Amino acid sequence: MEQHIAPTVSGERLTGRLKVEPEDFVVEEIPAYLPSGEGEHLYLWIQKRDLSADQLLGHLSRSLRLPREQIGMAGLKDRRAITRQWVSVPAACEAMLSAVENESVCLLKTSRHTNKLKTGHLRGNRFEILVRDVPQDSLPLAQRIADEITRSGIPNRFGDQRFGHDGNTAEMGFRLLTGDMTPRDLPPSRRKFLLRLALSAAQSTLFNGVLDRRREQGWLHAVQCGDIMQVDASGGLFLAEEVAVEQPRFERRETVPTGPLFGPKMKQPTGKPLELEQQILAESGLTPDQFREYSKLTSGARRPLLLWPDELSAEFHPDGILFRFGLPSGAYATVVLDQFLQNAGA
């Protein structure tokens, strides 16, 4: 099943088809660290084909006779794709590893480590993505767009897949936050997974709302007094107090403005950025206190509003154009491709 992409920015764009075959979308995790070779946890370097993260969890749980909560993953990977990633399980499972492999899952290597792999234990992902059926002579346009992105970056939106089919995962998250449903309403076997996913989807929806509002007001590339800025080199956060000082630092790519992942530990902006974020939250029908109910899962954080893909290139391929790039943890390849494509699949 191919995926259609709609453009998120104005300007001339290509047409083409994405994810016609799983092999058209290749993702390889960039780990935060490699297993040490010793410890009570077994790290599995797994390649999966056309399989969702939830399906992979279920398969490993059944084949290794493990509760899902004993399986560690650093990040959730696309379904319609070839993906390679580390997964951790207890070392006691080593004798049962032959049960892991099937037509969709391949075990490439194993190693031991001292701790379980947890969400976020990755630097990012590298992508090789083939867009098929592009018009002839489209490569120069794709390369011009790539150059523009390299200079100016792109909005660091959460991709639509974050929100579930027709947004149902995000809707579940909002209902949990408002109290219209409770974790007991979720299937017991998937409760922990769905709870984390739904609440994160609600936070992501609000972030996208703030990003869109800032873009409407011309604030995406303009530092505002009261912004929470992130230092590129360290990831540290600080309050922007003098725009005349901070705007040049942003333009040198030393810092970037951030948006909210709402929660009780989130660093708050001041001034106009605070007013905008409070407005988006109020329009959703939520209050800051409602995130405290699930504070372990919605503790709060800041996320850069702009993104610069690493080593972005567009290359000729006999079946279309091959895009290669790297992204930090939490960024979406489809958001990058949105800048190149319109009406994909047409």
Catalytic annotation, residues? 78
Bridge partners of residue 45, in order along the sequence: 86, 109
Q: How far apart are CA 49 and CA 303, in angstroms?
A: 30
Cβ contact 3:22 at 8 Å:
no
Tokens coding 74: 């650093």
Q: How far apart are CA 194 and CA 113, in angstroms?
A: 27
Instruction: Using alpha carbons, select from 202, 164, 214 the residue that is nearest to residue 297.
Output: 202
**Radius of gyration in angstroms for the set of CA atoms belonging to the chain, rounded to a whole number:** 21
Tokens coding 54: 């939830």
Q: How far apart are CA 242 and CA 236, in angstroms?
A: 18
Q: How far apart are CA 211 and CA 221, in angstroms?
A: 11
Pairing of strands 306-307, 154-155: antiparallel
